[in-house]
A and B are shown apart, each in its own frame.
Chain A
């Protein structure tokens, strides 16, 4: 019967087509899955591969790493940068306080961070997320970080959240390779060359403060901030974690963080917690102060306060 024959032929051809299609897709998926291996060779030098852990590097080791990274930045981004290894200061533990009565949610802090720390332009990445919050609420998990209207909006307040530089940092505990640790000035840092990109720290952080480089960060050469530090704003490789480091390339030299200088309302107060005369100590002693998610026991070095 011609009818059933036609059906038969059509059935076979469909099956064959599906098989062929499946095989093609399978091959494509296989090739895609192995792509990192084929891409690995040209971007990883022997020096890169043999580099020691940050804490095990001598001054000479570090110097050669820094020079190599400068050359790589020139090759990959076309920018002349100088990368330093800036060490913590003696007798300094950094603290940061943010005045919720003053913040208007203009995101200038996040924007300043974006530029200062050479963040990927396409994602508009920043270590600071500003949450728009309902007045009367306190849980920033319900805040909106992607608002795009005139601020401050009626009935709202704004809560910028960045790394809280915890004294009991869960992100550090979960790192399987010790690529992240807390320095003596309180800053939790990441060695981007040691990080394996497992993202455990991102999951562990109750403040969503960590960022992952899904792609190689793209920044035009003329926009790259050339003043860089190894544990701070140097260009991060693809597949590594990064986070706010209190602008350690600035603050360990006595300067204010970029987000503070950008704040048009003076909502940010930064300083040395060990200096009883510092501005931050005055705020902690005289204002109504709280920390985010105090109940999870992270002991942040970042504080929020009110004027009234």
Chain B
């Protein structure tokens, strides 16, 4: 069964990963929770001097026009978004019948908080590794008998519309006086 238990609070979803695990009979005392850092299913909208998360359905129920289904068809809305997720169409993941929901490949509707299952449809090896603790960052206890653990949701690290992990500037290098001399960038 693919169903996951979840409690939604302030847009941060908490999924009990023991339901996702292939071995449900864990002798764990504490839970592993998947915590989302994104406001799932909402769009940040600037209203005067404050930013509000607006549910997709707020706009998508006020017009009868059929919305764009490919990123390059977007002319009026969502034009500031970056798209880099292969050739996926909008409705490959979003449910055109209910914009506050996602849609699995078999047509079933899916809450935004359960994105893990949607991603896993294509990214099986990543989901397998994730279940075994070998993909995705975590915090807390290695020994669940001693304390709980929190795990990242797919979308904490991967923007679903542009999922490649972004480049970044590293933390400063060591200033150890025994460090080897900095190699020239144009070494090769």
Q: Does A pair with B? A: yes
Interface residue ranges, A against B (CB under 8 Å): 97, 99, 102, 104-108, 110-111, 122-126, 129-130, 134, 144-152, 211, 214, 251, 253-256, 260-261, 263-266, 269-272, 277-279, 282-283, 286-287, 307
Q: Can you offer 10 A-B residue contacts whose CB atoms are under 8 A?
A: A102-B135, A146-B179, A254-B145, A261-B139, A265-B157, A266-B138, A278-B142, A279-B132, A279-B134, A283-B134
Question: B142, A254: Cβ atoms under 8 Å?
Answer: yes
Q: Smallest Cβ distance from B79 to chain A, in angstroms?
A: 27
Interface-located stretch among B6-14, B53-61, B66-74, B169-177: B169-177
Question: Bound state CA distance, A99 and B149, in angstroms?
Answer: 20
**Which of B161-188 touch A at CB < 8 Å?**
165, 167-177, 179-180, 182-183, 185, 188
Report chain B residues within 8 Å CB of A260. 138
Question: A272, B142: Cβ atoms under 8 Å?
Answer: yes
Report chain B residues within 8 Å CB of A105. 170
Work out how many contacts link A and B, with CB atoms closer than 8 A. Answer: 125
Instruction: Judge whether B84 is part of the interface by a CB distance below 8 angstroms.
Output: no
If the complex has contacts A108-B171, A254-B147, A264-B137, are A145 and B179 also in contact, measured as CB distance less than 8 A?
yes
Report chain A residues within 8 Å CB of B139. 256, 261
> Max chain A CB contacts within 10 Å: which of B134, B157, B168, B183?
B134
- Chain B 72-115: CB-based contact to A (< 8 A → 1; otherwise 0): 00000000000000000000000000000000000000000000
Question: Bound state CA distance, A272 and B172, in angstroms?
Answer: 32
Report chain A residues within 8 Å CB of B165. 104, 265
> Max chain B CB contacts within 10 Å: which of A255, A277, A307?
A255
Question: A125, B176: Cβ atoms under 8 Å?
Answer: yes
Interface residue ranges, B against A (CB under 8 Å): 23, 26, 125, 129, 132-143, 145-147, 149, 152, 157, 165, 167-177, 179-180, 182-183, 185, 188
Instruction: Name the residue of chain A whose CB is nearest to the CB of B156.
Output: A264
Instruction: Name the residue of chain A whose CB is nearest to the CB of B137.
Output: A266
Q: Smallest Cβ distance from B173 to chain A, in angstroms?
A: 4
If the complex has contacts A149-B185, A150-B167, A279-B132, are A129 and B142 also in contact, measured as CB distance less than 8 A?
no
Question: Bound state CA distance, A144 and B165, in angstroms?
Answer: 23
If the complex has contacts A111-B171, A264-B137, A266-B136, are A271 and B142 also in contact, measured as CB distance less than 8 A?
yes
If the complex has contacts A148-B173, A265-B157, A269-B133, are A256 and B140 also in contact, measured as CB distance less than 8 A?
yes
> Max chain A CB contacts within 10 Å: which of B141, B143, B183?
B143
Report chain A residues within 8 Å CB of B170. 105-107, 130, 147-148, 151
Question: A256, B138: Cβ atoms under 8 Å?
Answer: yes
Question: Bound state CA distance, A46 and B177, in angstroms?
Answer: 33
Q: Which among B26, B167, B174, B179 is the interface contact of A152 at CB below 8 angstroms?
A: B167
Report chain B residues within 8 Å CB of A102. 135
Question: A251, B142: Cβ atoms under 8 Å?
Answer: yes
If the complex has contacts A152-B167, A251-B142, A254-B141, are A107 and B136 also in contact, measured as CB distance less than 8 A?
no
If the complex has contacts A129-B174, A145-B179, A307-B129, are A254 and B143 also in contact, measured as CB distance less than 8 A?
yes
Question: B132, A253: Cβ atoms under 8 Å?
Answer: no
Question: B133, A279: Cβ atoms under 8 Å?
Answer: yes
Question: A269, B134: Cβ atoms under 8 Å?
Answer: yes
Q: Which among B167, B171, B182 is the interface contact of A110 at CB below 8 angstroms?
A: B171
Report chain A residues within 8 Å CB of B188. 134
Instruction: Name the residue of chain B whose CB is nearest to the CB of A253.
Output: B146
Question: B173, A124: Cβ atoms under 8 Å?
Answer: yes
Instruction: Name the residue of chain A whose CB is nearest to the CB of B170.
Output: A107
> Max chain B CB contacts within 10 Å: which of A130, A134, A254?
A254
Question: Bound state CA distance, A272 and B146, in angstroms?
Answer: 13
Report chain B residues within 8 Å CB of A152. 167
Report chain B residues within 8 Å CB of A151. 167-170
Question: A263, B179: Cβ atoms under 8 Å?
Answer: no
Q: Smallest Cβ distance from B172 to chain A, in angstroms?
A: 6
Q: Which among A214, A266, A271 is the interface contact of B152 at CB below 8 angstroms?
A: A266
Instruction: Name the residue of chain B whose CB is nearest to the CB of A134.
Output: B188
If the complex has contacts A255-B147, A272-B143, are A266 and B171 also in contact, measured as CB distance less than 8 A?
no
Question: A255, B173: Cβ atoms under 8 Å?
Answer: no
Q: Which among A106, A125, A256 is the interface contact of B171 at CB below 8 angstroms?
A: A106
Q: Which among A106, A129, A145 is the interface contact of B168 at CB below 8 angstroms?
A: A106
Question: B133, A124: Cβ atoms under 8 Å?
Answer: no
Instruction: Name the residue of chain B whose CB is nearest to the CB of A109.
Output: B171
Question: Bound state CA distance, A279 and B130, in angstroms?
Answer: 10
**What are the 6 closest A-B residue pairs judged by CB atoms, nearest first?**
A254-B146, A279-B133, A254-B143, A107-B171, A111-B171, A266-B137
